Structure 1
Amino acid sequence: MKIALVNWRDPWHPHAGGAETFAWELARRFAREGHEVRFVTARAPGQAAGDVVDGVRVRRMGGVFTVYPLALAWLLLRRGRFDVVLDCQNGIPFFTPWAVGRRTRVFLVMHHVHDRQFGVHLPPWLAAVGRFLEGPAARWSYRRHVSVAVSPSTVRAMRERLRWTGPVHIVPNGVSVASPGDAGRSLSPRLVHVGRLVAHKRLDLLLDAVPELRRRWPGLTLDVVGRGPEEERLRARLPEGVTLHGYLSEEEKAAIVARAWLHVNASQGEGWGLCVLEAAALGVPTVAYDVDGLRDAVRHGETGWLLPEGADLAEGIAGALHELDHTYTVKCREWAGRFSWDASAARLAALMRGEQPSPLWHGETPVLRGER
């Protein structure tokens, strides 16, 4: 197939996150299977306009907002060239159905519904525009097309909050982590947070919890791994015992996560929470709030703990530290072992070929790698 994958950023963009990992891991597997893949995305300062990586032709154009019309124009000039367009929605979709021919199959890829997050990042008038584009405008534009979501939470949010009516299939995240080397669990309590430094991740809640936790465990430390627009502000208010590492290589990140007792995610909502699965693969359970996406990635009482929204984070982490034992490590690794990028790519490829993929869910457990 000739595939165009349109995504807000690529994995090398300074503000890349889990959505970029998802898009790239699938794109490179499609290219490996012999498909012709174009990855159309924004261009950060210093990035080349074009690249070929792992057999994928990358085309970069525009910035935060201008990438949308430029990507549409790029597709319009190639109208009819592609068999499939994967339109990755990162708050606002690209509205690609308006730029391709009728024979081109368009799949909207939805990580999570952003309606509540627009107000966190944007002024009221622009947040209202974002909610309109994500809701009524997108619902109309993609009404005849299949959608892909990464979790049951996202499907529910699409149905309930966006009033989505078309077919939605779940294609979950996979997981791959670098070797942590000889890093072993720290002798003293150690927390880790991995993710982009943006407002809706609510890292302030975790930083506020650290002084209280250190009164109970004086040797407790927190490692924060990630970068983003909030980095400078957060660095200015780090409490004692907290290290903000910024960007790290996959090997460095794996070593830090492997030393932690707990991974903590205080986000107000995710599509899934790729960092949760990556921590689980290294045997580290997660403490998170019971919100969209994270309630799918964390199995409460088995691979971590889900706290009610508004609950005291310090108390939740303290309870987890008291309860923590080796069974969580075992169950984390078992849970992460159910997911693979190869399986996710195969599932999406089946949809692109017009096939009905095999059932993914058995009860509440994802069915992958031939499991029934």
Structure 2
Amino acid sequence: MKIAVVNWRDPWHPQAGGAETFAWELARRFARAGHTVCFVTARAPGQSRHESVEGVRFVRMGGVFTVYPLVLGWLLLRRGRFDAVLDCQNGIPFFTPWVLRRRTRVLCVVHHVHDRQFGVHMPGWLAAVGRFLEGPVSRWSYRRHESVAVSPSTVLAMRERLGWTGPVHIVPNGVPEPTVPGEPDAPGGDAKGGVPRLVCLGRLVAHKRVHLLLDAVAELRKRWPGLVVDVIGRGPEEAALRERLPEGVTLHGYLPEEDKARLVARAWLHVSASQGEGWGLSVLEAAALGVPTVAFDVDGLRDAVRHGETGWLLPEGTDLAKGIGAALDELDHTYTVKCREWAGRFSWDRSADRLIALMHGRDPGPAPGLDPAPDSGHGGEVR
């Protein structure tokens, strides 16, 4: 097939995150399987307009907002060229059905519903526009097309908060192969040096609420004076976070994959204070290295973390320092084992196969590794 993957950014964009990882990992597997793949995206300063990587052709144009009309114009001129289009929603989708032929199979990929986050990142009037585009306009534009969500939480949010009525299939994130060996014989934290180490992995943006972890450090260090926190990632909140770093916290910024994996593997716990995710790719990355996660019980993270098995889910509003402290007290080697078992259920190869089946019009069946997605009764198949 000839496939277009349309995503807001590519994985080398300075603000790339989990959505970019999802789009790229699948695109490269499509190409490896013999399909012709074009990755259409925005262009960051210094990036080339055209290049090919691992058999995937990249076409870059426009910035944060201008990428949307420019991509629609680009597709309109090539409306008969593609057999299938992955239209990835990052707040709002690209509305590709407006310019493509009806016979082109369009799959709208939704990582998570952004309605509550628009107000965190945008002024009021622009947030209202974002919610209108994400809700009524998207619902109408994709009414004849199937959609893809990355987790049961996202399916439920699409049904209840966006009023989505069409078929929604779950295609979960995969897990990269761990590049650093874990500690298979570690009986809890003792084998990791005797000093608790926490790690926070992800983009430094407002809704990730990394500041809540920084606020918890002083209280935690009263009991564990040598406690260390490693924050890995970059983003617009980086400068503000650096100005308030407490003792024991290191903000690493971007790290190459092997360095990142090595640092995560040393941690006793991975901590996410996010107010909501589509899934929480960092949770599985940590789990693959045997590191459990402490997170709030919010969309996406309640799917990626199995409470009492691969980590701990805290009710929203819980004191994060107390939650982390309780997890450190309970931590033992069984969490390491269960984390690796849980992460082993997910594979980018299997996710790519599910999407290829959908592009061919076939039912991919239930998503492996996940419980069935809830359906609020608005109609449409949920698999």
TM above 0.5, one fold?
yes
- Give yes or no for the alignment of 1:202 onto 2:216: no
C-alpha distance in 1 between matches for 2:63 and 2:146:
28
5 Å-filtered alignment, 1:53-202, equals 53-180=53-180, 185-202=192-209
Counterpart of 2:246 in structure 1 is 239
Structure 1 28/361 Cα, relative in aligned 2: closer, same or farther at 3 Å?
closer
CA distance in 2, matches of 1:55, 1:86: 17
Residue 343 (str. 1) matches residue 350 (str. 2): yes
CA separation in 1, counterparts of 2:347 and 2:47? 30
Question: 2:182–2:265: 8 Å Cα contact kept in structure 1?
Answer: no
Does the CA-based 8 Å contact 2:8-2:42 persist in structure 1?
A: yes
Please state whether the residue corresponding to 1:305 is helix, strand or coil.
strand
CA shift, 1:360, in A, is 2.1
Q: Secondary structure at the match of 1:346?
A: helix
Corresponding residue number in structure 1 for 2:237: 230
Secondary structure at the residue paired with 1:129?
helix
For residue 286 of structure 2, what is the aligned residue in structure 1?
Answer: 279
Q: Distance in 2 between matches of 1:346 and 1:253?
A: 28
Residues 132-151 of structure 1: per-residue CA shift (max 9 Å, x gap): 00000000000000000000
Q: 1:363 to 1:211 in 2, by over 3 A?
A: closer
| 1:38 alignment partner, SS class | strand
Query: In the alignment, which residue of structure 1 is the partner of 2:297?
Result: 290
**Alpha carbons 1:178, 1:250 under 8 Å: kept:** no
TM-score, normalised to structure 1, is: 0.96
Distance in 1 between residues matched to 2:25 and 2:370, nearest whole Å: 27
Instruction: Please tell me the residue identity of whatever aligns with 1:228.
Output: G
Aligned to 1:302: 309
Query: Contact (CA 8 Å) 1:61, 1:70: kept in 2 or not?
Result: yes
Contact 1:272/1:293 (<8 A) preserved: yes
CA contact (8 A) 2:178 2:289 kept: no
Partners of 2:215 and 2:268 in 1: how far apart? Answer: 19
Instruction: Give how far 1:180 is off.
Output: 2.1
1:248 aligns with 2:248: no
* Equivalent residue, structure 1, for 2:221: 214
Q: Which amino acid aligns with 2:329?
A: H
Residue 178 of structure 2 contacts residue 288 of structure 2 at CA under 8 Å; is this kept in 1?
A: no
Separation (CA, whole Å) in 2 of partners of 1:361 and 1:312: 34
The Cα shift of 1:182 comes to: 8.3
- Partner Cα distance (1:154, 1:101) in 2: 28
Instruction: Work out the CA distance in 1 between the residues paired with 2:159 and 2:372.
Output: 21
**3-state DSSP class of the match of 1:207?**
helix
Q: Distance in 1 between matches of 2:216 and 2:299?
A: 22
Deviations for 1:66-121, whole angstroms, at most 9, x for unmatched residues?
Answer: 00000000100001110001000000110000011111011000000000000000
Which protein has greater RCO, CA pairs closer than 8 Å, 6+ apart?
2
What's the CA shift string for 1:36-69, capped at 9, x where partnerless? 0000000000000011001000000000000000
Return the offset for 1:181: 5.9
- Contact 1:149–1:169 under 8 Å retained in 2: yes
Give the whole-Å Cα distance in 2 for the aligned partners of 1:70 and 1:334. 44
Report the equivalent of 1:31. Answer: 31
Which moved further from structure 2: 68-77 or 180-189?
180-189
CA distance 1:179–1:185, shift in 2 (3 Å): farther
Shift of 1:179: 1.5
Q: Per-residue CA shift, 1:232-282, capped at 9, x if unaligned?
A: 110000000000000000000000000000000000000000000000000
5 Å matches for 1:43-54? Answer: 43-54=43-54
Deviations 1:140-185 (A, max 9, x none): 0000000000000000000000000000000000000442268883
In structure 1, how many angstroms separate the alpha carbons of the residues matched to 2:169 and 2:58? Answer: 26
Change (3 A) 1:285 1:181: closer
How many Å separate the matches in 1 of 2:39 and 2:7? 7
Secondary structure in 1 matching 2:192: coil
User: How many residues get paired?
Assistant: 366
Query: How far does residue 358 in structure 1 lie from its aligned partner after superposition?
Result: 2.3
Extract unaligned runs of 5+ from structure 1: 367-372
Say if 1:363 and 1:271 are closer, same or farther in 2 by CA, change over 3 A: closer
Unaligned runs of 5+ in 2: 184-190, 374-383
Q: Deviations over 1:193-239 (max 9, x none)?
A: 00000000000110000000000100101000000001011000000
What is the TM-score when the length of structure 2 is the normalising length?
0.94
Q: Alpha carbons of 1:94 and 1:54: their partners in 2 closer, same or farther (altered >3 Å)?
A: same
% of aligned pairs identical? 78
| Equivalent of residue 325 in structure 2, options 286, 293, 318 | 318
**Corresponding residue for residue 369 of structure 1:** none
Residue 351 of structure 1, CA deviation: 0.6
Residue pair 1:17, 1:196 contacting (<8 A) in 2 also: yes
